[in-house]
Amino acid sequence: MYARLQLLRGLKKESCFLWGPRQTGKSTLVKQLFPESLYYDLLLSDEFLRLQRNPALLREEVLATEPRGPVVIDEVQKVPALLDEVHWLIVNRRTQFCLLSSSARKLKRGGGNLLGGRALRYELHPLVFREIPDFDLFRALNHGLVPRHYLAENPELLLQSYVGDYLKEEIAAEALTRNLPAFSRFLESAAFSNGDIINYQNVARECGISSPTARDYFQILEDTLIGRFIPAYRKKQKRRVIFAPRFYFFDVGIVNFLLKRGRILPRSEALGRAFEHFIFEELVAHRHYSGLEYPLSYWRTASQLEVDFILGNHEVAVEVKAVEQVAEHHLRGLRAFMEEYRPKRAIVVSLDPRPRKIGAITVMPWKLFLTKLWEGDLIA
């Protein structure tokens, strides 16, 4: 059991939504924080059925008790009508709630009341570097950082179940499609595009679907927190730049399984992509958990000069290279970006054993970079 970062700042006073893909640990975290809370688990069929039939039962039961801590509703998207009762209790009785959900899409599609700003919004990510003592990079790259998968000695069956039962069936249901084979092909095609700019026409052609359907499927992955787009950096520029966003799945282990990558080893062909994906996940989690919510983007010119990640308003430019010795040719994109924008810091995150300076660029071993990131030494 890992001690998760205390991301629920202010929860002792405020109601909140806690979003996150399945198995990231939402239920476990909330049960640890609030062991005496009144708890409704809508994954239980009897609980689901009685509240679906009569949502007013929630109000009547809460009013009949004196809740200790927030009232917790797990998988609240299954019964969107409960949110009207939650709204009434927050406004009229100042009841505090913690509402867990793997998908805001179901709430919106079902006409769910998102409480009009009366609940804070938090997201639980897979495990991150700072949460794991004796962090093992290659275990993370091979297993992914969904807690059960990282802990497992052989995560293959767990990943197979996660992709088969959750992604290919439950997420397909979000698409309101009965064409499960096409959606399965789409997931695999999306995995091949992981970390890249998405060409919807190419994806559609590979999957036997239309371009608008492919675009809708990517939107579903984003709405269900299974993936996210990273925008292009759009500040004024001299060079002609690419404006289309890039797409990443929420966990490197899921991509490994969808691509049938095999084991990622030092100097292996798949290492570079997996390592970049891992650093992206850390940045996404950090910007949320830290409360900074700084912009996160990438930069690419039409001539293929590129910087993997731009933090903030070009305060920090980060290039990721899965090499044991960064060389001059790895710095072309950073140097071009520095000529135009003059970031406060330019960093190459690598497998180098020690940090070093190459002119104004810092080569930083990945462990040092993540330590500085989570300690707040890179961006404020």
Q: Are residues 256 and 351 in the same domain?
A: yes
Tokens coding 277? 């994906």
Q: Are residues 280 and 319 in the same domain?
A: yes
In a domain, 62, yes or no: yes
Tokens coding 322? 């899965």
Q: Are residues 294 and 190 in the same domain?
A: yes
Q: Are residues 257 and 337 in the same domain?
A: yes
Distance of CA 132 to the CA centre of its chain: 18
CA distances from 144 to 120, 158, 254, 275, 290 (A): 28, 11, 7, 11, 22
In a domain, 380, yes or no: no
Q: Are residues 145 and 52 in the same domain?
A: no
Task: State the DSSP string of 99-164.
Answer: EEES-HHHHHHTT---GGGSSEEEEPPSP-GGGSTT--HHHHHHH-SSHHHHH-SS-HHHHHHIII
Q: What is the pLDDT of residue 114?
A: 67
Q: Are residues 95 and 67 in the same domain?
A: yes
Task: State the DSSP string of 23-39.
Answer: TSSHHHHHHHH-TTS-E
CA distance 58 to 377: 46
Q: Are residues 153 and 80 in the same domain?
A: no
| Cα three-residue angle 259-260-265, rounded to 5 degrees | 105
CA distances from 312 to 44, 293, 315 (A): 43, 9, 6
CA distance 125 to 146: 8
- Structural domain span for residue 88: 16-124
The three-class DSSP label of residue 47 is helix
State the number of CA atoms in the 13 A half-sphere of 61 facing the CB: 15
Q: Are residues 184 and 290 in the same domain?
A: yes
In a domain, 112, yes or no: yes
Boundary of a domain, candidates 104, 124, 144: 124
CA distance 361 to 192: 31
Q: What is the CATH number of the domain that holds 105?
A: 3.40.50.300
Q: Are residues 153 and 95 in the same domain?
A: no
CA distance 94 to 15: 9
Closest CA to 56 of 92, 88, 95: 88
Q: Are residues 246 and 310 in the same domain?
A: yes
Boundary of a domain, candidates 99, 124, 149: 124
Boundary of a domain, candidates 71, 101, 124: 124
In a domain, 4, yes or no: no
> What is the tally of structural domains in the chain?
2
Q: Are residues 96 and 153 in the same domain?
A: no
Distance of CA 133 to the CA centre of its chain: 21
| DSSP H stretches of helix in 290-359 | 332-341
In a domain, 253, yes or no: yes
Per-residue pLDDT 10s for the chain (380 aa) are 456 766 655 556 789 999 999 899 999 989 988 899 999 999 999 999 999 999 999 999 999 998 888 999 999 988 989 999 999 999 999 999 999 998 777 666 655 556 767 788 889 999 999 999 999 999 999 999 999 999 999 999 999 999 988 887 777 777 666 677 888 899 999 999 999 999 999 999 999 999 999 998 999 899 889 999 999 998 876 778 889 999 999 999 999 999 999 899 999 999 999 999 999 999 999 999 988 999 999 999 989 999 999 999 999 999 999 999 999 999 999 999 999 999 999 999 999 999 999 999 999 999 999 999 999 999 98
In a domain, 339, yes or no: yes
Q: What is the pLDDT of residue 286?
A: 95
In a domain, 32, yes or no: yes
Element (H, E) at 229: strand 227-230
Q: Are residues 115 and 145 in the same domain?
A: no
* Beta bridge partner(s), residue 17: 99, 121
In a domain, 97, yes or no: yes
Strands 39-41 and 71-74: parallel
Q: With 0-12 CB in 10 A as exposed, 13-18 as middle and 19+ as buried, what is 70?
A: buried
Q: With 0-12 CB in 10 A as exposed, 13-18 as middle and 19+ as buried, what is 140?
A: buried
